[in-house]
Amino acid sequence: MLKIRMLVAAIMLASSVSAVQAWDSLPSKAPAPTNNPTTTEKVELGRMLYHDPRLSSTGTVSCASCHNTMAGGEDNRAGSMGVNGQVGGRSAPTVWNAAFNTVQFWDGRAESLEAQAAGPVTNPIEMGMKNWDQVVTRLKAIEGYQHLFTKAFGKDSISKDNTTKAIAAYERTLITPDSPYDYYVNGDQSALTAQQIRGMEKVAELGCTSCHSGAAFNGAGTFQKFPVNDNGYFEAKFDFKKDKGLAEVTKKKKDEHFWKVPTLRNITLTAPYFHNGSVKTLKKAVAIMAKLQLNKDLSDNEVADIVAFLHALTGKFPKQIMPELPATPGLTFNK
């Protein structure tokens, strides 16, 4: 009987929301690479490293400083603040569900969570360590980390590679399934309001999911040009084209203004919006995307319906417990 009810619900869903649109629910577990299988020991070590400001030159900035797991997975700033009060030129992407990205960073320059974890530590504006040898030396000087790395990777295992593997293993636990949207596509027709269903239908009709596709609404590692359509008013106001995106990495003109497609999951929690954090409200961001990407002028009601649907993409967050970091009695690394 349960299977019959689920089948009927699926048929109703297909008829109420574009039958050609595939709507996928978010898995409750993220896949791990074969060279870094997830273990309890790695996750616990990674949780500590992720929240430890001693991985920065000043002892004041951790991964969590810009990617707050007690909130939306970023810092709600237009530009994230690093060591010595320096501010970067891009808004921090959320770490929640980043495990479902096939590339990381706004410009997609990292091919994995492991590669991404290595970058900010030695970025002079972000965490400011001179090099990874300095990081490893610092970790080896902390007795508690010696024990934790041994449990996770074996004896004498403190290294750049294992540090980033542990952080990535922790980040793969940061999954937010069971949103109202997920319940709806799994057959619970009462999970969304009438307005949210209208917004879902409008998203399909406009073609938003041609880029924001898949269970994470992130295009599964695809890149998209932004903005597609020139608009002098928006450019003057928001300066979207100042940053050349992927071309900053490849140095190729054909890659100018191409960006990794960001997730729409939990988007109501991650203002301000766009790569430079120039748009403060989700309502404005939706209207801008429709105009710049699709050359569509949406009515206030259409925008409101889409925003309502985006609220339905906020999932259930796994409880986060702040770690007790290994101590350094009588010693400080801070400047």
126 is annotated as an active-site residue = yes
Q: Any idea which residue has 């120039």 for tokens? A: 278
Three-class DSSP labels, the chain = CHHHHHHHHHHHHHHHCCCCCCCCCCCCCCCCCCCCCCCHHHHHHHHHHHCCHHHCCCCCCCHHHHCCCCCCCCCCCCCCECHHHCECCCCCCCCCCHHHCCCECCCCCECCHHHHHHHHHHCCCCCCCCCHHHHHHHHHCCHHHHHHHHHHHCCCCCCHHHHHHHHHHHHCCCCCCCCHHHHHHCCCCCCCCHHHHHHHHHHHHHCHHHCCCCCCCCHHHCEEECCCCCCHHHHHHHCCCCCCECHHHHCCHHHCCEEECCCCCCHHHCCCECCCCCECCHHHHHHHHHHHHHCCCCCHHHHHHHHHHHHCCCCCCCCCCCCCCCCCCCCCCCC
| Residues 69 and 75: beta-carbon distance below 8 Å | no
Q: Which of 74, 114, 126, 302 is catalytic?
A: 126
Residues with catalytic function: 126
